[in-house]
Amino acid sequence: MTQFPPTSWTLVVACRDRGEQGRAGLERLCRLYWRPVYWHLRARWARREADALDLTQSFFAWLIERDLVGRADPGRGSFRGFLRASLDNFARNERRASSTHKAGGRERFVTLDSIRDTDLEPPAWTAEADFDELFAASLLEDATRDLVERLTAAGETTDREAFEAWFLAEERPSQRALAQRLGLSPSSLRRSLERTRRALRALLRQRLRDTLADDADLESEFALLFGSRS
């Protein structure tokens, strides 16, 4: 078995486990990557919505059936790059066969019931950038959910409310109005927002580190994916 650096590709390492840890790792990978996979099929391979959804599920079933995740080589770069190459190979073979690869009785990790209408709205970015952009969006959504849950569990109600109002609300209030609403001084609000921003960036870095073969690539990958929004 290939030896992985202790802080690299940890999701892939988890997927190699045949028990609950492996299942949890696969489910998380599918949750993080299904939208990039779906929109890559729509944009690059010109698949219609229903077809792309079916192929997305079939692609993950194909990865699991062939144990491609477990045999992935971290020495060849990021997991994101591996997944994109695997997807193109899958889509190319499927097109050559002129038939959709059905998952049959195999377990599916991406289900139609979990997909929201907003997940199927066309992205604003270009087709060439869709996979990386959607991967970044998936990481950001997952890290944001994690941060809100952590703040709630820790009883950090003020930090959570400030974070949600400033970073997540459709209409951002002024800092003065938000500080008054939360009963904070302007400086206290700024410190609260800076704490949650740092926490979110740390969670994003941890998730990104899980998909890289070398920690030395972390900062360049982070800048590539989040530089314009961090």
What is the tens place of the pLDDT at every residue in 58-91? 898 888 778 787 677 766 667 788 888 889 999 9
Q: What is the mean pLDDT of residues 187-205?
A: 95
Q: What is the pLDDT of residue 16?
A: 65
What is the tens place of the pLDDT at every residue in 23-32? 776 777 777 7
Question: Which pLDDT band holds residue 203 (cuts at 50, 70, 90)?
Answer: very high
In a domain, 168, yes or no: yes
This prediction's pTM: 0.67
DSSP-H helix ranges across the chain: 10-15, 20-43, 49-65, 79-97, 130-153, 157-163, 175-182, 186-209, 218-226
- Domain co-membership, 196 together with 166: yes
Residue 50 has pLDDT above 50, yes or no: yes
In a domain, 13, yes or no: yes
Query: What's the structural domain count of the chain?
Result: 2
Q: What is the pLDDT of residue 1?
A: 28
Q: Could you tell me the two tokens for 46? A: 């010109």
- Domain co-membership, 100 together with 39: yes
- Domain co-membership, 147 together with 229: yes
Q: What is the pLDDT of residue 130?
A: 63
In a domain, 2, yes or no: no
Cα separation of 67 and 85, whole Å?
A: 15
- Domain co-membership, 86 together with 160: no
- Is the Cβ–Cβ distance between 112 and 120 less than 8 Å? no
Find tokens 């938000």 and name the residue.
178
- Domain co-membership, 113 together with 172: no
In a domain, 212, yes or no: yes
In a domain, 109, yes or no: yes
- Domain co-membership, 114 together with 132: no
Q: Could you tell me the two tokens for 66? A: 């062939």
- Is the Cβ–Cβ distance between 207 and 215 less than 8 Å? no
Q: Print the domain residue range for 193.
A: 126-230
- Of residues 131 and 167, the one with the higher pLDDT is 167
Q: How far is CA 135 from CA 21, 174, 229, in A?
A: 23, 30, 14
- Is the Cβ–Cβ distance between 76 and 135 less than 8 Å? no
Of 92, 122, 152, which residue sits at a domain end? Answer: 122
